[in-house]
Structure formats: C-alpha cells, structure tokens
Structure 1
Amino acid sequence: MIKRKPSILTTKDISVNEAQPSVLICMRVDDDILDFTGHFPNHPLLPGVTQVDWAIHYAKHYLNAHSNFKGMEVLKFQEPILPNMEIELELKWDIEKSKLYFTYRSNKGDTVSNHASGRIVLGA
C-alpha cells in the first residue's frame, strides 16, 4: 500500500464562530510516506507541495471547505518537516472569502517552531 498521508493523533475543533470554522490536527509525519522518496535521498524532508495538499485535504474533510484550488496568496516555508516528526496543522476556513489559512508547527518543550504557513484561495 502506498502511504500519502500522516498518522492523525488527535483533532480539536477550535472554531470561534460559524463563519470561520477552524481545527487543530496533531499528526505524526511517518517516515514511510511516499512523498519523502527522492526528496533529498540522504536528507529527506516533506515537500512544500505535499504540505499544501494536506492543508486542502484536511480542510475539505474537517471544515467542509471548497475543493477547487484557485491560487495561493501567501506561502512561507520556514523550517523543514522531517520524517517521524509530530506536528500540528492549524486550519482556518473563511467561508465568505473562500480562503484557507494554514500553519504547520511543532513543539519541543517550551519552544514552538513554525514550519510553514499560507493562505489558499479555494472555489466551489
């Protein structure tokens, strides 16, 4: 079986209002995910395109976001996501503007590392 998605550890609804539902997904980025293959053989890291794909996939699943990619407005990759890391993916869906806000981060003790963030425009 080809593995393309991480292991979901927990999810938490963090919505503050109905017009902007949000969710926090804790996941383990397993080392056997296909996307690591060939993305630097001696130093694998999770490709940015995979991170965007996961954000859209989980926004559709948990937040009922639109399914068609219309474009990116903002995208920052700050720190690599490595095999077997435990990370959080925070998603916020702005229904009115059809915009998905995402942030990948990890915690090590008192230190929070931001790995990637962005704003994706989605359409029906």
Structure 2
Amino acid sequence: MVKIQYKRIYQDVLEEDGIRILVDRLWPRGISKEKAKLDHWIKEVAPSNELRKWYHHDVSKFSEFQMKYKQELSQGTQFEALEKLKSIIYSSRENVTLLYGAKDEKYNQAVILKQILKDSK
C-alpha cells in the first residue's frame, strides 16, 4: 500500500520519500532544483495567490483557510491539478511525499491535501 506523507522541502531527501511532489505555487527560497530532487512540481494544486496572501500562515485562520482551499480544489485548474496528483499517487507503488516550503509543519496546505487524498481512496 502506498504511504502518503508530507514534509518541508528543506528536510533531507530520504529513500523512503519515494515520489517527491512539490505542492507550492512558488519555488521555495534557497533550494536548488538539484537539491530538491523533485519528481513533480504541481503548482496549480496549491492555494491561489489571493488565498495564500489572505491566510499568511495565521494559525487562527486555519479552519477557514482549510474550507476555502477545499472549495478552490473543487473547480477549475486546481481541480484538474488535484486529479493529476491523485493519478500520480494511485498509479504508484512507491511512497509519495508532498513537499512544501512553509515553516509550520502542522498548519499548511500539504496537511489538507494529505487528508483529501486519504479520504478519496
């Protein structure tokens, strides 16, 4: 069974990461493409610029952010990107690691994406 996990892109690359997918809209500062060792960068699955700026990693807004982000993922190019992500994951026999650049390891879009992916199996 494929294990879906998430971690900061700044953490060490591990063999058990499996397929490494960046789920940020913007490239993380200070990381080279070589160091990132990405298999995919699906920037369209990330929150819109407007939502990202509104949230601004304010934990008190996380519940509302989660609701708004899920709504974004239900339509348009973000929905298509989510379907692409699902296709990659469910056709894989390797672990999948969702990568993000945010400092907060508990309140970010990768946490939400993992839950959505887990619920959609």
Q: Normalising by the residue count of structure 2, what TM-score does the alignment of the two structures yield?
A: 0.29
Asked which structure has the greater RCO (Cα within 8 Å, sep 6+), the reply is 2
Where is the strand percentage greater, Structure 1 or Structure 2? 1
Which protein is richer in helix relative to its size? 2
Q: Structure 1-normalised TM-score?
A: 0.29
